[in-house]
Each structure stands twice: as C-alpha cells, then as structure tokens.
C-alpha cells in the first residue's frame, strides 16, 4: 500500500491529526452536556434557534476532510506509469583539496581545511545538475570519491577528509592535477574543470608541467588560495584534540606556512582558468560558480525512465473544495416566519359588536 506514495513519511501526520480529532470530539460532547444542564431542552432550543448547529457540525467535518486530503497530497500518491526521456547536461568538475598539515593553520577560522571543506559543500549547492569528484592530496594524492551527481552521499566523504588520511607529508600539487585528470570520463566530450583548494605551498617540482598537460587536453583549472602571505604557524594537537605546540623545524624554529599566490596564478593562467583568493565572506564561491556556469554544457547522461504518474492534484482539489464548502455554510440558521395570534386575526374578518 505504501508503495503508491512517493513520500510516505507524511502519512505519520495522521497520528497527531487523529489525536486532535478525538480531543475536539470529547470537548464538543462536554460542551453539549454543559448546555443541557442549563435548563429544559425546550427553552434551550428556543434560545438557540438562530444557531445553525447542523451547519457547524459539517464545518468541523469539512475542516478535517480538508486536512486529511492535504496530508495525502503531500504524500504524493502515484499510480499508473509513463516512460520519460531523461537528459542531464552539465560539466565535469574534479575538486582537489589540500589536506596537508599546513591547512590546519588558523588564519581562517576554525582553520584553512575546515573553511575549504565548507566552500566545497557550498559549491555543491551551486553546481546542481553537474558532476563533481573529489581528490585529496598532500605528499600523495588519491580519489576520495569519483564523479557523481549524488552530492548528499559525496558530503559524507568530504566530511571524512583530514590531514592524517595521507601518510606521506608535504604538498604535491602536480600529482593532484594528474590524479584529477585521470578521474575524468574520457568517453564524454564534456567540458572538464579542476578546482584546486590549497595554500599553494608546493614541495615537489614540475607543477606547471602538470598544468600544461591539463591545458593540452582542454581542461580548465581554477585555483583558490587559502592563507596569508605573511605566514601562520601550524598547530600540533594530541589524540584528544588539545593544542600541544606549534610545528618546529630541525633547528627548533617555529614553521610558518605562507600562501603562494604566484604559483596558483600561473597554474590558472596556463589553462585559461582563474585564481581566487579566499576571503572571510566566502565571496569566491559565488565567483567560481559563476565562472563554471558560463562554460558550455554537454550531455552527461541520457536514459529512458519509467515513472509513476503523480495523482496528488486530485487530493489537493478535494481539500480545496472542502474548504470552499466550509466557507459557504452559514453560521446562523435562516430566519423563520412566525405568525403571532394578532397577525392571524388581521387576516380574517372580525365581527364588531353591536
């Protein structure tokens, strides 16, 4: 039975609705008993002759009928089926997220990595209809999840990204670009985009060569830089998440991580992309989404799909009709013409005494 409803969870509304109905019935019965104790039934009937009691009862019934059918409409009943041709168009986007220790710097609150993950989540909201995959990188890189349009599931994998997920230290942007390139579907002639979110500190060589490889394949790279050019210390935490100290080099000096905007700008320029510096208000997400929105979209998927025919309109129509009839029922009974004895005499001939 529940299979005919697309949103069966709304049917749970009948539980509180039935409780409210029972409560109103008990209060109404109590009200009638209280009125009966006021005096004789004949007197009460004459005093309340102008009240449309039957109409009021039907108003209550119609109100409940409307609520019942509104709930049924929200549950989206479906029966019958039809075949639809589904075509989804968009671009393929591989996001490369830096999870190196330097992304724990706190020049963005709570830190660079948390802020970058938040921006990816916001970007998913803006890229509905496209496909997005995620590459995590530090000294190595791997695909956290492949290209998908199921962003709800993708967010669970995004939340699991943290610095310790890759054991090799450092930051290798070149490998991140290569892994992202390999993550695209080569059989599709769609526009392919790589978005790199990092502080730009590259500890390996030939990152510009990797960018050129992407450009040769028509891939556009957008870079988003997190951090400050002035530098920020890298906090070290224990297994309970308590701050122990700040990272130091072999000579005992505190290590400062700085934003390398020059490298990120060069990567973007080689591929005809753009560089965005992360701002406290997150404005770069809107700019990035607008840039991707201007790209030419291609067919990502097409298929024939059998779907149930929505019938909620019928139930919603019944609810509307019940409310209309509810408003048309008068609250007062129609006035009845009562003939008094004097009025009766006026209609007949009265014999005058002589």
- For residue 209, the model assigns a pLDDT of 94
- For residue 203, the model assigns a pLDDT of 65
Query: CATH 3.40.50.410 residue ranges in the chain?
Result: 87-303
pLDDT tens digits, one per residue of 162-190: 888 998 888 899 999 999 999 998 888 78
- For residue 259, the model assigns a pLDDT of 92
Cα separation of 144 and 133, whole Å?
A: 8
Cα separation of 154 and 131, whole Å?
A: 11
- For residue 326, the model assigns a pLDDT of 87
Residue numbers of the chain with a pLDDT score lower than 50: 335-354
Angle, CA of 154, 160 and 164, to the nearest 5°:
140
In contact, 270 and 208? CB cutoff 8 Å: yes
Closest Cα partner for 257 from 95, 140, 97, 113? 113
In 138-174 the beta strands, taken as DSSP E runs, fall at 141-148
- For residue 38, the model assigns a pLDDT of 67
Instruction: Give the predicted TM-score (pTM) of the model.
Output: 0.64
- For residue 220, the model assigns a pLDDT of 96
HSE-CB for 181 with a 13 A CA cutoff: 19
CA 241 to chain centre: 31
- Non-local (6+) Cβ contacts of 303 within 8 A are 85, 86
- For residue 249, the model assigns a pLDDT of 81
Cα separation of 215 and 160, whole Å?
A: 31
| Architecture of the CATH domain 87-303 | 3-Layer(aba) Sandwich (3.40)
- For residue 298, the model assigns a pLDDT of 54
**256-257 and 235-237 beta bridge pairing:** unpaired
- For the chain, how long is the longest CA-to-CA vector? 142
Tokens of 67: 């609520």
Cα separation of 18 and 67, whole Å?
A: 11
Tokens of 278: 């992360």
């Amino acid at each position: 039975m529940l299979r005919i409803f697309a949103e069966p969870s709304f049917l749970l509304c009948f539980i509180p609705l039935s409780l409210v109905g029972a409560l109103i019935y008990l209060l109404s019965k109590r009200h009638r008993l209280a009125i009966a104790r006021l005096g004789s039934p004949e007197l009460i009937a004459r005093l309340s002759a102008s009240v449309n009691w039957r109409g009021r009862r039907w108003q209550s019934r119609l109100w409940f009928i409307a609520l019942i059918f509104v709930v049924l409409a929200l549950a989206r009943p479906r029966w019958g089926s039809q075949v639809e041709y589904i075509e989804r168009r968009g671009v393929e986007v591989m996001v490369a997220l830096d999870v190196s220790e330097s992304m724990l710097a706190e020049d963005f609150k709570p830190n660079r990595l948390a802020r970058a993950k938040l921006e990816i989540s916001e970007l998913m909201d803006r890229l509905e209809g496209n496909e997005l995959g995620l590459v995590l990188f530090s000294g190595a890189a791997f695909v956290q999840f492949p290209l998908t349009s199921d962003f709800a599931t993708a967010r669970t994998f995004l939340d699991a990204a943290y610095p310790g997920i890759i054991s090799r230290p450092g930051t290798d942007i070149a490998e991140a670009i290569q892994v992202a390139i390999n993550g695209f579907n080569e059989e599709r002639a769609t526009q392919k985009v790589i978005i790199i979110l990092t502080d730009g500190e590259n500890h390996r060589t030939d990152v510009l060569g990797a960018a050129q490889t992407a450009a040769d394949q028509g891939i556009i790279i957008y870079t988003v830089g997190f951090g400050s050019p002035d530098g920020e210390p890298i906090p070290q935490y224990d297994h309970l998440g308590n701050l122990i100290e700040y990272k130091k080099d072999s000579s005992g000096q505190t290590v400062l991580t700085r934003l390398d905007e020059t490298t990120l700008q060069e990567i973007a320029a080689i591929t005809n992309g753009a560089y965005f510096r992360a701002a406290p208000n997150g404005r770069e997400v809107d700019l990035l989404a607008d840039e991707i929105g201007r790209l030419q979209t291609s067919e990502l998927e097409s298929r024939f799909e059998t779907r149930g025919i929505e019938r909620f309109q019928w139930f919603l129509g019944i609810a509307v009709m019940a409310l209309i009839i509810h408003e048309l029922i008068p609250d007062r009974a129609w006035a009845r013409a009562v003939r008094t004895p004097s009025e009766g005499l006026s209609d007949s001939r009265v014999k005058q005494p002589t």
